[in-house]
Amino acid sequence: MQSRLSIARLLIVQTGSTHLHGDYPRWFERALGFEMPLIRAHAGERLGSALDRVRPQGIIVTGSPLSVIEKASWMLELGDDLLRVGARGTPVLGVCFGHQLLARAAGGDVVQNPRGREIGTVRVQLTEAGRKDVLFAWARGPEIEVQATHVDAVDPLPAGATVLASNENTAAQAYRLSETVAGVQFHPELWAAAMRDLILSRRDKL
């Protein structure tokens, strides 16, 4: 799988910054094993110029300490742009903030989760659609363990979205909007030791 991924041209759309174990793009590069071009959307870099330069075969939209609830103009523009790119056939995966950004752009909403913060190694149950989806082809059963840290959640989902995974805290842990656009609330790129360090770094705020 890694060899096929490394051949593909993947573009990272960074939506915020962290200094834990590098930055958000570094997490994905560590997980996949190769470097990827990126744009810093939160710093004003535009998606269009990167598409012309990179001609990506897939796009990953990162997490962020920011909130989609803020409805900043760059967030609204980016969400619309990403949906258009997906509609033209380029796969787009939103992770955490990215998952929420795509859902809102498609007509859903994002709220502070009434069940509270979810942080740590959590269990997520795949739906029947999720068990058949290529996004979870690696899963060996109907339940997976993943790393998650979020306060906001998608609710409701956009019309026509298919739930791929859920748990007691968050009904929309993963969804698919179309053949090319999907989102996951959790962080597939994070590893358990990094999550431990993240929790320790935030212990005064938790």
Q: pLDDT digit string (tens) for 136-176?
A: 999 999 999 999 999 999 999 999 999 999 999 999 999 99
Give the active site residues. 96, 187, 189
Residue 198 pLDDT exceeds 90: no
2-201: which CATH topology? Rossmann fold (3.40.50)
Which H or E element spans position 168?
none
**What is d(CA 149, CA 138) in angstroms, rounded to the nearest whole number?**
22
Task: Measure the CA–CA gap between 1 and 65, rounded to whole angstroms.
Answer: 30
Mean pLDDT over 89-104 rounds to 99
Q: What percent of the chain shows pLDDT beyond 90?
A: 90
Average pLDDT, the chain: 95
SS3 letters for 155-174? CCCCCCCEEEEECCCCCCCE
Long-range contacts of 49-55 (CB under 8 A, 24+ apart): 50/11, 51/11, 51/85, 54/9, 54/11, 55/9
Domain ranges of the chain: 2-201
pLDDT bucket at 21, cuts 50 / 70 / 90: confident
Please check the confidence at residue 6 and state whether its pLDDT lies above 90: no
